[in-house]
A and B are shown apart, each in its own frame.
Chain A
Amino acid sequence: QKEVEQNSGPLSVPEGAIASLNCTYSDRGSQSFFWYRQYSGKSPELIMSIYSNGDKEDGRFTAQLNKASQYVSLLIRDSQPSDSATYLCAVHYGGNQFYFGTGTSLTVIP
């Protein structure tokens, strides 16, 4: 059984702080990792992807991958109230399926 685990939260951070979201996965054969943002009542939207160990930065977002520890994280710098959403971690193992975690709810407090 391929599993993707996330802390459901809620995670609350003050505006301007760094929000750190974590995800672990069970299968060492995992190849590709994704972070989706889902606003309440809306569909998910892709915000970051990462394929290699290390950090990948895109604006205020940084994805970090450690395949040895089977761990992927998302850092949001200078958090804004508009970042308040549920963040879904997804893992692709090379077949047709993407495996999603249950999501972490983030609230950025003004």
Chain B
Amino acid sequence: GAGVSQSPSNKVTEKGKDVELRCDPISGHTALYWYRQRLGQGLEFLIYFQGNSAPDKSGLPSDRFSAERTGESVSTLTIQRTQQEDSAVYLCASSLEWPGLESQYFGPGTRLLVL
């Protein structure tokens, strides 16, 4: 079946603009993660959704970052008033169950460049 998809694959924006990144998880996957990966760095946890439970937002770096997910479907990550340090690859992962130890599947990522 289809894997995790993300759009856009690449995004170039100007400092101060808002951007919206989209993640389509694998159908039936209840858990969804967003990560940020800066160049040459590991993955940085941003936010976690599990079904209809309140999301775990503990990894969001500032109030400029927000994310939504409706039920077990699409998620969007929004970055307001983008800064150059927001430039990174934003990865989404979904899994069938919590916490997805063995089944966390990653999307291809969105490469964000803030000029």
Contact = CB atoms under 8 A, between A and B. Distances in A.
Contacts of A42: 108
A49 B100 CA distance: 12
Nearest to B108: A43
Interface in B27-72: 33, 35, 40-45, 48, 50, 56, 58-59
Nearest to B59: A97
Contacts of A95: 56, 99
Contacts, number: 53
Nearest to B106: A43
Interface residues of A, number: 23
Contact of B45 (A43, A88, A97): A97
Interface stretch (A14-22, A63-71, A76-84, A100-108): A100-108
16 contacts: A6-B42, A32-B101, A43-B107, A44-B43, A44-B91, A95-B99, A96-B48, A96-B58, A96-B99, A97-B45, A97-B58, A97-B59, A98-B33, A98-B45, A100-B43, A102-B40
Interface of A: 4, 6, 8, 32, 34, 42-46, 49, 88, 90, 92, 95-103
